[in-house]
Amino acid sequence: MRKRRPPKRKAPKATLRTLTIEALSPEGEGIAQDIRVPFALAGEVVEAAVSGKRGHVRTIEQQSPQRQDPVCQHFGLPGDGCGGCTLQHLGEAASSDLKQHLLLNAIRKVFPDAQVAAVHQSAAQTRRRAKFAVRPGAAGFHALASRNIVRLAACDVLQADVLAMRQPLEQLAGRLGVSFEAQVTATDAGFDVALFDLGEDQLDLRQRDLLNAFAQDQDVARLTGDGITLSERRKPTLQFAGVPVEVPSGVFLQATQDGEAALIREVLDGLGNAQSVADLFSGLGTFSLPLSKGRSVHAVDVAGPAIAALDRAAKAAGRAVKAVARDLFARPLQGAELKGFDAVVFDPPRAGAGLQAKFLAEAAVPRVVAVSCNPATMARDLKPFAEGYTLERLVMVDQFRWSSHVEAVAVLRRLA
């Protein structure tokens, strides 16, 4: 049965106001006193529709000399375009500076002398996964903080073949007569397409036939609806260090291949000559499999399907990876469980590692490499290491071009 959406809260009535933008928030939004104004820059005067503490730009009356022409025709100015990118008006160099400031502002609360040693930025049109909002007559990304769908004729973030799936999905919604979300992932075997909010158990025979025809016409490797496989022509796979791994539907992946490669290089370099390594929050084995060349790896993650896929792949390739399904939030590794490792890698979800970081610091593992997509929670996870460790290297990996999202790697060495 299709899940019912919660009733919408009535938004406060918007009023038109002239605002002077005083500064930028760490996320790149304009700030006018206590009002946040996306797509506005410091020093600008804008007319905005203000609702609560948010402003929606209508016109720019006085423009900042920092403002750059956006590279994409759908960029969200004056506030009604695509919400996928939020910093194109700031330009490449200033956006990168903003992200480095965001990262350093967080990490220096723990390690005051922290510096960004390197920046790796993914090239345009390299993102291999997208989640489209789809309804009859429209498919694309939502406008910022809106349910309005922007139909994308172009995108400077997505791989061209991923973007090209937008139109067939829009046509599919029209034939089915339903709205849904569609996550498209490029794998080595072709596209893995996952549909959500489809009400799969209520689809009639005609709709099921249409879905099968869509999978065949688009040569989709796998098509799922709310986690249920509707069609599978080939097993979706990705390779990590030359080892093919089956990709479970909906599993976490790094956004770009070159960003993933940069993260792997930094993790491998950060671990040095460590021979016995734990990979916590390991997922499919993004780090476990590259690490397993000449090392023994203990991989742990709560995600059963991902751990199972890693286990099968490692065994088939003869890699020394012990893959264990365990909830590290409910049952973090601690004490004696961590003492035997020369090094530990941990790459938790956006919310951070929780108590696992504390127990890891207390275990005094010689080398620790932290990977995170959230500077604030990364700083919180690094706090237990402030006394007994030195920060050897901090690197920013920018996979989320023209947005404020930041990925980072921190290499920690235990003090003698």
Residues acting as catalytic residues: 373
Pair of tokens at residue 64? 């900042």
The two tokens of residue 415 are: 């003090």
* Dist. CA 390–CA 138, nearest whole Å: 52
Say how many Å lie between the first and final Cα of the chain, rounded.
59
Q: How many CA atoms lie within 13 A of 323 on its CB side?
A: 24
193: helix, strand or coil:
strand
Alpha-carbon distance 405 to 397, whole Å? Answer: 10
List beta partners, residue 229.
224
Rounded distance between C-alpha atoms, residue 296 and residue 408, angstroms: 25
Alpha helices in 272-407 (DSSP H): 288-291, 304-317, 336-339, 355-362, 375-382
- Torsion over CA: 121, 123, 126, 132 (sign): positive
Q: 66 is written with which tokens?
A: 């920092």
Give dist(CA 91, CA 315) in Å, integer: 46
Q: By three-state DSSP, how is residue 256 classified?
A: strand
